[in-house]
C-alpha cells in the first residue's frame, strides 16, 4: 500500500545491460564492467527511480541487476521491472525489423518468465518450417542454416570451431510472430493482466502511408499499450507522437533512453540517464500501467509544471500531519497510545470519505498547527465536539505538521487551543456553508463577498496591484 498516493517521478523503461548485443559498456563477463554499470545507475540518484531492465531475448541482465539490488546496491531505484525485447518478422521493411517489448510485473519471478515465456518462443525461417528455440543447441543449428542460405556450407568441424559466433549471430537475427507472442501470454495464467506491451517507434517510422506497411502500423498500434521512442529532443518527440496518433488517436508514446552505453560525453543518444519521461504513479506495476493507459493526465515529456512549482519559495503544501496523545492518560488509559500519522501527497487536494469518518477532524488538525485558531470556524475542534479531559492536567494532545520545503510545526492542545502565527487560510465546510446559505440581506452575506475579494487581492501578483492596498482600490484602478 502506498499511503502518500501517486506523485510525479521520472522513469526509464528501456535500459539495456552489458548482456545485450551491441552495447558499449564493456566485457559482459567482467565484474569491473558490472560494477561500473551499477555505479552509473546509482549516480543517477533520485533522477530516475523506475527502471525497466531490457535485454534482447534474455532475462539474465534483469536477474543480475535484481541480485545487486537485493545485496544493497541501487537504493535509489524504487521499482525495478523486467523487460524482454524481441523482433517481429511480420512487421519488417528492407531497412529494419520491428522491435517489440514485453514488460512483466516484478511480482513474476525471473524463473517463471524464462520457463513460461522465453522457452516457448520459436523462430521459423519459413512459414510452416521447424521452430528453433532460444537454447544454445537450436541457435547453433539456426546459425548454420543461415550460413548455408548465404551460400556458405560449413563442415561439422568448421561449424564446431565457430559455434559461439554462430549462436551469437542467430540470437541477433532471431525473430518471432506477434501472434505467437500473444498466444503464449494469453495462455499463461501467471501473465494475465500483468504485462505491458510496447512497440519501437524507430522501426515503425520506416513504414509507408500506403500498402502492407501502413496496414502493419495500424495493426501493431492497436495491439500494444504504448510505443517507445528515444528521440533526442522535445520537438522530435512531439512529431513522433503526432505521427502515431494519425493512425491511433489514443496512442501512448513513452520516451526512454534505449541506453547501450555510459554517458561519457562522446554521443548524445542511447546513454544511461537520457530518458525525459515522467509518470504520475506509485512505485508499483499496477500504478504504472494505469498511468500508461491515461497518458494525457499521467505522463509528461520533461518536468511537469506541478514539480517545478514545488521548488518555488511560495509553494505551500502539507506533507504529513501527526496527532498524538501525550502524558499520563496515554500511559494509564489501558488503550494503546493514540498516535495517528497521515502522510499527505504534496499535490493532494481532496479528502474523500463517508460521513463521520474523520474528514473534518483531519482538516482541522492540519489547520490547527499552521493557522490562528477560531473556535467558531472549526467543524471538529470546538467546545461542542472535541473535549479533552480537563481534570488531567498532565495529559494533552500534540499535533504536528510538516510543510513542503519548510520546517515542521508543532502545537499542544491541553485545556484549550494554543495560538500561533498563521501560515495558511482555513475555511472549513460548515463555515463556508453558513456563509453561502446566509440571507442575502444579512451581514454574514457580505462576509462571503469580502472573503472572496480578500483572496483575489492577495493572489494578485504585486506587480499588477499598482500600489493598491485593497480589492476595492484595485477595482478602481482597473475600471
Cα end-to-end span (Å), the chain: 53
Chain Cα centroid distance, residue 112: 25
As a residue count, the chain comes to 479
Mean pLDDT of the chain: 84
> Of 28, 25, 18, 82, which Cα lies nearest the Cα of 50?
82
| pLDDT, tens digit, 9 for 90 and up, residues 284-320 | 999 999 999 999 999 999 988 877 766 665 667 777 7
CA-to-CA distance for 274 and 62, rounded, in angstroms?
19
Supply the pLDDT for residue 151: 87
Asked whether residue 168 carries a pLDDT value surpassing 60, the answer given is: yes
| pLDDT, tens digit, 9 for 90 and up, residues 394-445 | 567 788 888 877 778 887 776 555 555 556 777 777 777 777 877 777 776 7
More confident residue, 316 or 218: 218
CA-to-CA distance for 249 and 159, rounded, in angstroms?
50
Mean pLDDT of 271-278: 92
The confidence band for 166, taking pLDDT boundaries of 50, 70 and 90, is very high
More confident residue, 61 or 469: 61
Q: Which helix (H) or strand (E) holds 312?
A: none
> Of 79, 59, 71, which Cα lies nearest the Cα of 12?
79
Supply the pLDDT for residue 287: 95
Q: Please give the share of the chain, as a percent, with pLDDT higher than 70.
A: 85
The confidence band for 8, taking pLDDT boundaries of 50, 70 and 90, is very high
Asked if residues 429 and 443 have their Cβ atoms less than 8 Å apart, the reply is: no
> Of 255, 256, 249, 278, which Cα lies nearest the Cα of 347?
278
Mean pLDDT of 371-383: 72
Q: Please give the share of the chain, as a percent, with pLDDT higher than 90.
A: 43
The confidence band for 391, taking pLDDT boundaries of 50, 70 and 90, is very low
Q: Which helix (H) or strand (E) holds 53?
A: strand 50-56
The confidence band for 336, taking pLDDT boundaries of 50, 70 and 90, is very low
Asked whether residue 143 carries a pLDDT value surpassing 50, the answer given is: yes
More confident residue, 42 or 131: 42
More confident residue, 27 or 441: 27
> Of 318, 407, 430, which Cα lies nearest the Cα of 367?
318
The count of C-alpha atoms lying within 13 angstroms of the C-alpha of 393, restricted to the half-sphere facing its C-beta, is 0
Supply the pLDDT for residue 392: 47
- Determine whether 319 is exposed, middle or buried from the number of CB atoms within 10 Å of its CB (0-12, 13-18, 19+): middle
The residues, any chain, with a CB within 8 Å of residue 341's CB and separated by 6 or more, are 320, 321, 322
More confident residue, 99 or 341: 99
| pLDDT, tens digit, 9 for 90 and up, residues 75-111 | 999 999 999 999 998 776 666 688 999 999 999 999 9
CB atoms within 10 A of CB 436: 10
The confidence band for 113, taking pLDDT boundaries of 50, 70 and 90, is very high
Supply the pLDDT for residue 339: 62
Supply the pLDDT for residue 353: 81
| pLDDT, tens digit, 9 for 90 and up, residues 47-78 | 899 999 999 999 999 999 999 999 999 999 99
Task: Flag the least confident range among 14-18, 72-76, 215-219.
Answer: 215-219
The count of C-alpha atoms lying within 13 angstroms of the C-alpha of 21, restricted to the half-sphere facing its C-beta, is 14
The residues, any chain, with a CB within 8 Å of residue 310's CB and separated by 6 or more, are 317, 346, 404, 405
Which long-range contacts does 230-235 make (Cβ < 8 Å, 24+ apart)? 230/14, 230/202, 230/255, 230/256, 230/257, 230/258, 230/269, 230/270, 230/274, 231/201, 231/255, 232/268, 232/269, 234/276, 234/301, 234/302
Q: Which residue has the cell 520506416?
A: 206
The confidence band for 2, taking pLDDT boundaries of 50, 70 and 90, is low
Instruction: Tell me the H-state helices in 134-197.
Output: 136-149, 156-161, 163-173, 178-187
Task: Flag the least confident range among 217-226, 244-253, 379-388.
Answer: 379-388
The confidence band for 349, taking pLDDT boundaries of 50, 70 and 90, is low
Asked if residues 116 and 191 have their Cβ atoms less than 8 Å apart, the reply is: yes
Asked whether residue 387 carries a pLDDT value surpassing 60, the answer given is: no
Amino acid at each position: 500500500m502506498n499511503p502518500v498516493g501517486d506523485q510525479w517521478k521520472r522513469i526509464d523503461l528501456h535500459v539495456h545491460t552489458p548482456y545485450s548485443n551491441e552495447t558499449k559498456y564493456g566485457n559482459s563477463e567482467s565484474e569491473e564492467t558490472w560494477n561500473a554499470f551499477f555505479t552509473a545507475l546509482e549516480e543517477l540518484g533520485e533522477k530516475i527511480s523506475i527502471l525497466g531492465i531490457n535485454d534482447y531475448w534474455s532475462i539474465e541482465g534483469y536477474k543480475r541487476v535484481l541480485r545487486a539490488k537485493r545485496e544493497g546496491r541501487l537504493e535509489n531505484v524504487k521499482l525495478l521491472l523486467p523487460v524482454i525485447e524481441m523482433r517481429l518478422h511480420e512487421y519488417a521493411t528492407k531497412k529494419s525489423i520491428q522491435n517489440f517489448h514485453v514488460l512483466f510485473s516484478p511480482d513474476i519471478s525471473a524463473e517463471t518468465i524464462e520457463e513460461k515465456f522465453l522457452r516457448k518462443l520459436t523462430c521459423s525461417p519459413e512459414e510452416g518450417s521447424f521452430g528453433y528455440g532460444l537454447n544454445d543447441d537450436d541457435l547453433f543449428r539456426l546459425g548454420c542454416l543461415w550460413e548455408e542460405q548465404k551460400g556458405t556450407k560449413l563442415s561439422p568441424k568448421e561449424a564446431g570451431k565457430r559455434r559461439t559466433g554462430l549462436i551469437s549471430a542467430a540470437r541477433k537475427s532471431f525473430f518471432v510472430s506477434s501472434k505467437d507472442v500473444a498466444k503464449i501470454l494469453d495462455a499463461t495464467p501467471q501473465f494475465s493482466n500483468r504485462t505491458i506491451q510496447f512497440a519501437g517507434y524507430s522501426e515503425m517510422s520506416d513504414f509507408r502511408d500506403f500498402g502492407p506497411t501502413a496496414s502493419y502500423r495500424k495493426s501493431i498500434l492497436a495491439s500494444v499499450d504504448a510505443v517507445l521512442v528515444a528521440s533526442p529532443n522535445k520537438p522530435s518527440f512531439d512529431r513522433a507522437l503526432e505521427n502515431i496518433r494519425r493512425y491511433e488517436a489514443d496512442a501512448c508514446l513513452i520516451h526512454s533512453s534505449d541506453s547501450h552505453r555510459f554517458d561519457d560525453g562522446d554521443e548524445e543518444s542511447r546513454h544511461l540517464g537520457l530518458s525525459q519521461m515522467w509518470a504520475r504513479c506509485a512505485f508499483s506495476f499496477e500504478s504504472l500501467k494505469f498511468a500508461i493507459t491515461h497518458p494525457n493526465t499521467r505522463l509528461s515529456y520533461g518536468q511537469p509544471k506541478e514539480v517545478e512549482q514545488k521548488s518555488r519559495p511560495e509553494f505551500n503544501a502539507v506533507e504529513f500531519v501527526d496527532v498524538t496523545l501525550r502524558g499520563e492518560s496515554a500511559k494509564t488509559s489501558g488503550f494503546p497510545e493514540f498516535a495517528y500519522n497521515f502522510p499527505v501527497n504534496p499535490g493532494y487536494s481532496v479528502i474523500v470519505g463517508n460521513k463521520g469518518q474523520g474528514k473534518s477532524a483531519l482538516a482541522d488538525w492540519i489547520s490547527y498547527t499552521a493557522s490562528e485558531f477560531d473556535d467558531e470556524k472549526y467543524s471538529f475542534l470546538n467546545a461542542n465536539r472535541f473535549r479533552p479531559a480537563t481534570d488531567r492536567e498532565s495529559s494533552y494532545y500534540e499535533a504536528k505538521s510538516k510543510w513542503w520545503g519548510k520546517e515542521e510545526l508543532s502545537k499542544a492542545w491541553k485545556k484549550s487551543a494554543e495560538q500561533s502565527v498563521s501560515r495558511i487560510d482555513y475555511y472549513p465546510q460548515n463555515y463556508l456553508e453558513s456563509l453561502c446559505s446566509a440571507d442575502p440581506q444579512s451581514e454574514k452575506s457580505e462576509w462571503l463577498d469580502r472573503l472572496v475579494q480578500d483572496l483575489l487581492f492577495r493572489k494578485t501578483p504585486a506587480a499588477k496591484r499598482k500600489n493598491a492596498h485593497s480589492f476595492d482600490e484595485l477595482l478602481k484602478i482597473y475600471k
